[in-house]
Amino acid sequence: MVDLDARTERLDAYLDERGLEAVWFARPNGFAWLTGGDNVVDADATTGVAAAGYDGELRVITDNIEADRLADEELPDGFAVESFPWHADSLAEAVAERSLAPAAADFDVAGFESVDGSRLRQPLTDDDVERYRELGREVAAAVETVCRNLEPEDPEYEVAAGIDISLASRDVDTPVVLVGGAERAQAFRHYTPSDAALGDYALVSVTAERAGLYASMTRTVAFDAPDWFEERHRAAARVEATAVRATEAAAAGTLSGEGTNDAPDTAGDVFAAIQDAYDAVGFADEWEEHHQGGAAGFAGREWFATPDGDEPVRRPMGYAWNPTVRGTKSEDTHLVTSDLTERLTKTGRWPTHEVEPVDLPGIQTEPVDLAAPVIR
């Protein structure tokens, strides 16, 4: 269950800071963050069928088609549900008519400010963390179950279909499913599934979602891997291990030498460590070919790390780093707290290896336990 007290405490501070009377969320991840429920009917729509708001009270506005279902199946106690005739208004118009003003929203409402929901969703609360752990285990179990049964002749799209089914059986959605056989994984960083056979090895990457939380991971299965494969995968893994340790330091305010616990270092500071790690492992330019990941939680990435990224590195928070070296990738979702760092996307039944981060100023060099390739 969502800790509504923790949510409303943040929203009270936000309203006070901005001089607002109300704030509204209709984008699916914002709605899920505030309510723990799902407002999606049309998966192609950028906004859901209901808006969740706070003006000192917790409210949901939706049309009469959805009101009873949302109240019965999606919303915790504490939300007042208000409906409007489906033919009379748009959701934005209904919110504008019923909301206190001035107000903000994460979708277009006439006269409202725009709210950056991502900043409000960080860091994670204790109840978020527990649900995130459960999601990570479920995602890893689904993906690894399929990957254990791969064969070289399997078409990429059939593997993707198996991933979709395995996750759906666990009530997990799959906004991103990438399956790259040996030929296409070497050619492309985003190996969207095709009818090509896997061949000598396969990379399977997913970003999966449940109740608004997102977890990302990649698993590698090698049947007859090329001679260069082990070196490149190990290099990508060392970059990921460095990113994890740099994230810990940034969240503590000790990576740049300028941060503090109250004012942590930034995404750009972590990115600088990632660049240095690529250089140290002998693949200095590979970071230019693909994004490196970033903070995860109520979005596949709440932010992507960039050279000039000024987003604060918070804790407790999920982080999904995904370095690539042509033809290989290393990726899991980690939870970083003040007390520990744990890999969320794990089952304990997939082989791992202890990977040493690159020795850089400000970070610990203790090895990180990461998923290893399965050699078949």
The topology under which CATH files domain 4-121 is Creatine Amidinohydrolase; Chain A, domain 1 (3.40.350)
**Which 8-state DSSP code applies to residue 286?**
G
Q: How far is CA 165 from CA 170, 221, 344, in A?
A: 9, 20, 21
pLDDT at 262: 65
Domain locations in the chain as residue ranges: 4-121, 126-375
Identify the CA nearest to 102 among candidates 55, 136, 59: 55
Reading the chain (376 residues) residue by residue, the pLDDT tens digits are 899 999 999 999 999 999 999 999 999 999 999 999 999 999 999 999 999 999 999 999 999 999 999 999 999 999 999 999 999 989 999 999 999 999 999 999 999 999 999 999 999 999 999 999 999 999 999 999 999 999 999 999 999 999 999 999 999 999 999 999 999 999 999 999 999 999 999 999 999 999 999 999 999 999 999 999 999 999 999 999 999 999 999 999 999 877 566 668 999 999 999 999 999 999 999 999 999 999 999 999 999 999 999 999 999 999 999 999 999 999 999 999 999 999 999 999 999 999 999 999 999 999 999 999 999 8
Q: How far is CA 172 from CA 33, 156, 195, 211, 311, in A?
A: 16, 21, 25, 9, 28
pLDDT at 97: 97
Show the tokens assigned to 197.
């056979």
pLDDT at 121: 97
pLDDT at 143: 98
Helix (H, G, I), strand (E, B) or coil at 346: coil
Architecture label for domain 126-375: Alpha-Beta Complex (3.90)
The strands making up 317-321's β-sheet, listed across from edge to edge, are: 303-304, 293-296, 317-321, 332-336, 341-343
Beta pairing class for 58-63 and 79-84: parallel
